[in-house]
Amino acid sequence: MTTAAIYLAHLNPMTRAHESIISMLKQEHRVYVFPVRFIKDGREINTKSFPFSYELRKSMVESVFGDSVSVLPDYTFYAPYIKYMPPLLSSRSWKLRNQIIAQIKEEKFVSYTGDKAERLMLKAYRLNPLKADRLEISASSVKEELYRQAIEGGNDEKWRDKVPEPVAEIIKKNWDVIEKFARMEDGTMRKVGMKFPKEGYK
């Protein structure tokens, strides 16, 4: 019987580490990728930490894996995000969990994270996390190199080796996104180990 694998991720942008994780999960599971979204008044909120829209991140995954994995928009926080706090005690956080599970067709499922704290959270939400180690190449380091190139100019694309080639092409085609956020303050805050846009939190 096929088991589903739920991968909740930021994918800002998709890196070679994300590619390795999805490839590993595909070996034994039907993979569902849920890029996180933050919605306020019907529009997605993006920040320096979360520059790429859901549609761009979906296209990044599909450029590498085609339709062999499912990319879905149900990992969505609706403003005010404070209503999802505190985790586990908030009824809205459980509604989000059930919103994700509703998309899984298989009877049995597991979830993935390389972070120990996140694994405990997934376990508390009964999402059956796999034991796994965090892989190298963080999206944060890739973003730093993208923003550095946008500010300093030139053709030194150090970031390019850290993302799959089709993803690099998507980033280049949408370079205006990088230029938009490169010089901005980061409108992101951290609450209980989770990152949220400041806009829409309260």
Q: State the pLDDT at residue 138.
A: 85
Closest CA to 162 of 10, 20, 13, 15: 15
| 81/50 Cα distance (integer angstroms) | 15
**Residue 38 backbone phi and psi in degrees, to 5:** -125, 120
Domain range summary for the chain, segments of one domain joined by +: 3-197
Ranges of residues in the chain whose predicted pLDDT is under 70: 1, 136
Alpha carbon distances (Å) from 137 to 20, 33, 40, 134: 11, 19, 30, 9
Q: State the pLDDT at residue 36.
A: 96
1-47 per-position pLDDT tens digit: 689 999 999 999 999 999 999 999 999 999 999 999 999 999 999 99
Query: What ranges make up the beta strands (E) of the chain?
Result: 3-9, 29-35, 37-40, 43-44, 70-71, 76-78, 109-112, 188-191, 194-197
Q: State the pLDDT at residue 43.
A: 98
Q: Which CATH number fits domain 3-197: 3.40.50.620, 3.90.950.10, 3.40.50.2000, 1.10.10.10?
A: 3.40.50.620
Cis peptide before 13 (omega within 30 of 0): yes
Q: State the pLDDT at residue 136.
A: 67
Q: State the pLDDT at residue 133.
A: 73
